[in-house]
Structure 1
Amino acid sequence: MTSSADGTLLRPGTPAHRRAKVALLGTGMATFALLWSAQPLLVLIGQEFSVSATEASLLLSAATAALAAAVLPLARLSERFGRARVIGAGLALAVVAGLGLVLAGSWPAVLALRTLQGAALAAVPAAALAWVAEEVHPRAVTQLGGLYIAGTSIGGMGGRLLAGGAAELWGWRGALLTVALISTALAAAALALLPRSRHRGRRVVPTALPDDGDPYRATRLRLYAVGGLGMAMFVGIYNVIVYRTHAEPYSLGVGLGSMFFLTYAAGTLTSAQAGRLTARAGVRGTVLLGLATCAAGVLVTLATPLWAIWVGLLLLAGGFFVAHAVASSTVAGVAPRPSAAAGRYTLAYYLGSSVGGVLLGQAWEVGAWGGTAVAALVIIAVAGAAAAGLPRRPLGAGAPRTTRRS
């Protein structure tokens, strides 16, 4: 049975739906440009403050760890104060921290500001997908969630490339300033376009499944596993690929090696199509297809030519972002509290990032690229086992029942 609120949910083809698409794309871009722009600058920052490579890498680890720690509290705040308000406040604080980095005069100050920036950026993943689950018609949830994920891939890739190029001209401080200013413009435009919330606290329960308390807990746990394991594999591969291309027989410099981040573009394209794929193959089929594509990409990278490595990474990125887009978009729609589910998914996602970087780094030290590939394939297999228990057809495809949280 359809609630009277369903008539006000965003549907494809409406002006509000089109504004939401642009807003979510821009929000994802601004957030992940700020988060990952420090990655190509680690050497320059480390040289200025005379810290080792391991210490310099804390600029990424501190930010992602803070993001993981802050996402659940911020998810609760977004329930109380509104999704858009929390997203806007988080992005504003992240930009201020980014501007502070430009002026920082000591290593502890830089590290503290990056930690603050990561915690502030947690506001976006904590609230954005919950907003989608509450405000968008179930048939369009995966499409809009996929566009947000596409924005994150564009932002992650663009932030790295923009920072690396700007650093050649103005140093690492100028690079971070450039990213912060562009992210500010993107975030302001996105928040201006985002339609106001009308259904905060709305609970969406697909009628295709029984409503007996919380029958979707196992499904959510599987989706968390897909996100965390997938990110562990993905980040680990991209961390290690720089070492592989820097070593013999390639001996590529940092600048040329960073060009492999352009393969993120495949993820931008595939995540934006995740909704269509889910409509045809269902949640389980689409996630498994994405993971199988990741595995194929890892196998292709075992070949020696650089073009083969490039093709393998294209497959890897394309497959990962499909699985991630479907999992992250689905999880909030099958939860009594969408923001809490989105927050837990983000927590799993970034814990996977932290663990995967270490595990695949150790695999590289023990077995070079062959060992890295084996470790990545094992992680993909475990994620596939979790995904095999997901529902076949898209969740929420039937008419939803809507209730308010008391």
Structure 2
Amino acid sequence: MPLFVYVLSLAVFAQGTSEFMLAGLVPGIAHDMSVSVAAAASLTSAYAIGMIVGAPPMAALSARWPRRRALAGFLAAFIVVHVIGAVTASFPVLFGTRIAAAIVNAGFLAVAMSVATALTVPAEQARATAILLSGVTLSCVAGVPAGAMLGDRSGWRSAFWAVAALCLPALALVFRSAPASAARHHDVSIRQEARELRSRPLQLALTLAALVNGATFATFAYLAVIATDIAHLPDSAVPGLLAAFGAGAFIGVTAAGRIGDGQLRRGLILTLYALPAGWAVLAATGARTAPLFIVTIIQGGLSFGIGSTLVNRVMFVASRATSLSGSFATVALNAGAFLGPLLAGIATATTHDYRDAAWVSALLAATAAVVIVVSRRRATHADVTEAR
């Protein structure tokens, strides 16, 4: 595996930490900036929206840039907006920096996915994608809890400074090691690449990725309150529960990288069928400490393992969209990350039971299972009809 893939994973780790660390910084931001908790929490939604909106145009904009310039430019901009966020006294400015950070993050991730697969042979591309995405899972294991503790001890601004500092070595390594060549397949236009969205296999992969990620983050966003309000654990147990989820996610991504090849194989489909059952078990047993931790680890592994495989599937079926395929996957994942917590928020606000976030996850995952069943039946019917 090329060393540069690990460099990209380091940058993704820093960016993933920035995306998720807000969950532990909301109270401090609300107090320091004299805004409501709901307003401070909206910074998370701002980031998700920036990722969704930013991925395709940033990937298209950078399609003709040398890879080194694109990666370094996006990463440098990411550092700058975090410095601005760390020093501003204006909440609207802070809100704007979250959107800007998400847009350049989306651009970096789209280019990074394309570079990671371009640097490896087809047999290694699933592993390269998994290594890249392991940066996100490691941010859940280490980055997010560390950011929460840093924010608690030194203030939320210190977490922004830490993310900016963490990006500096990655930026230096990008300048040193990134391929200087421009994007491949110059004869294919961005408009032609966008037409790949008409592909039914790509539409299926994107839909599944959005549903699975929506299920993942519907519950992840409420794990802390499930632990404290439902299982009656102390606040000090929350970082451990989040780290448990991240550890499971890391195992799942690593396993997917070893066995995935971009195909919707039987093992993946069976695992997808098991996913809603796991979320239902978490909803039913979330009040008990041991089952909560055990099921959290399992669901983290299943969710991120399936998600990583589906990302590789997107890259596989959109192989002719070398510049935009990464942005397709980024939009799908973040659409799910936005939709899942939104639906969970509506459900829990109605019932006043945080365990219903896991029931929302079960519903979204079950929808993904239904989609794959219907798709397979249609494909079988089409094959029979063609044979006749």
User: TM tier, shorter chain?
Assistant: 0.7 to 0.9
Deviation at 1:97, TM superposition (A): 0.8
Deviation at 1:275, TM superposition (A): 3.1
Judged with a 3 Å threshold, the aligned counterparts in structure 2 of structure 1 residues 216 and 334 are, in CA distance, closer, same or farther, namely: farther
- 1: distance between equivalents of 2:196 and 2:106? 26
- 2: distance between equivalents of 1:53 and 1:214? 42
In the TM superposition, what are the counterparts of 1:137-176 in structure 2 within 5 Å?
137-176=121-160
Deviation at 1:23, TM superposition (A): 2.2
Among 262, 268, 286, which residue is 1:287 paired with? 268
Describe the superposition over 1:228-267 as per-residue Cα deviations: whole angstroms up to 9, x where unpaired: 11111111101122222221550532x4324321021211
- 1: distance between equivalents of 2:65 and 2:29? 37
- 1: distance between equivalents of 2:172 and 2:358? 41
In the TM superposition, what are the counterparts of 1:45-84 in structure 2 within 5 Å?
45-84=29-68
Deviation at 1:74, TM superposition (A): 1.1
In the TM superposition, what are the counterparts of 1:4-403 in structure 2 within 5 Å?
17-189=1-173, 192-197=176-181, 200-201=184-185, 217-248=199-230, 250=232, 252-253=234-235, 255-262=236-243, 263-278=245-260, 282-301=263-282, 302-303=284-285, 304-335=287-318, 336-367=320-351, 368-388=353-373, 389=375
Size of the aligned set, in residue pairs, is 365
**Kept after mapping to 2: 8 A contact 1:19/1:195:** no
**Kept after mapping to 2: 8 A contact 1:300/1:311:** no
Consecutive aligned runs of 4 or more in structure 1 exceeding 6 Å deviation: 213-216
Q: How large is the RMSD of aligned CA atoms in angstroms?
A: 2.7
Gaps of 5+ in 2: 189-194, 378-388
- 2: distance between equivalents of 1:202 and 1:365? 50
- 2: distance between equivalents of 1:199 and 1:71? 16
**Kept after mapping to 2: 8 A contact 1:31/1:124:** no
Judged with a 3 Å threshold, the aligned counterparts in structure 2 of structure 1 residues 199 and 105 are, in CA distance, closer, same or farther, namely: closer
Judged with a 3 Å threshold, the aligned counterparts in structure 2 of structure 1 residues 380 and 119 are, in CA distance, closer, same or farther, namely: same
- Amino acid of the structure 1 residue aligned with 2:362: L
- 1: distance between equivalents of 2:187 and 2:3? 23
Deviation at 1:214, TM superposition (A): 6.5
- 2: distance between equivalents of 1:104 and 1:265? 34
Deviation at 1:289, TM superposition (A): 4.3
Judged with a 3 Å threshold, the aligned counterparts in structure 2 of structure 1 residues 128 and 290 are, in CA distance, closer, same or farther, namely: farther
Describe the superposition over 1:123-156 as per-residue Cα deviations: whole angstroms up to 9, x where unpaired: 1222122223333211111110011111111124
Give the TM-score, by structure 2 length: 0.85
- 2: distance between equivalents of 1:50 and 1:214? 47
**Kept after mapping to 1: 8 A contact 2:218/2:358:** no
- 1: distance between equivalents of 2:361 and 2:325? 26
- 2: distance between equivalents of 1:123 and 1:89? 10
**Kept after mapping to 2: 8 A contact 1:237/1:360:** yes
- 1: distance between equivalents of 2:220 and 2:187? 37
Deviation at 1:189, TM superposition (A): 3.0
- Amino acid of the structure 2 residue aligned with 1:241: L
- Amino acid of the structure 2 residue aligned with 1:382: T
- 1: distance between equivalents of 2:181 and 2:252? 28
Which is helix-richer, 1 or 2? 2
3-state SS of 2:324 partner: helix
Gaps of 5+ in 1: 1-16, 205-212, 392-406
**Bigger mean CA offset, 148-157 vs 230-239:** 148-157
- 1: distance between equivalents of 2:3 and 2:25? 34
- Amino acid of the structure 2 residue aligned with 1:261: L
- 2: distance between equivalents of 1:125 and 1:20? 14
**Kept after mapping to 1: 8 A contact 2:197/2:203:** no
**Kept after mapping to 2: 8 A contact 1:29/1:152:** yes
- 1: distance between equivalents of 2:68 and 2:366? 37
- 1: distance between equivalents of 2:171 and 2:136? 13
**Kept after mapping to 2: 8 A contact 1:130/1:339:** yes
- Amino acid of the structure 2 residue aligned with 1:259: G
Describe the superposition over 1:20-40 as per-residue Cα deviations: whole angstroms up to 9, x where unpaired: 332232232122122222221
- 2: distance between equivalents of 1:241 and 1:47? 23
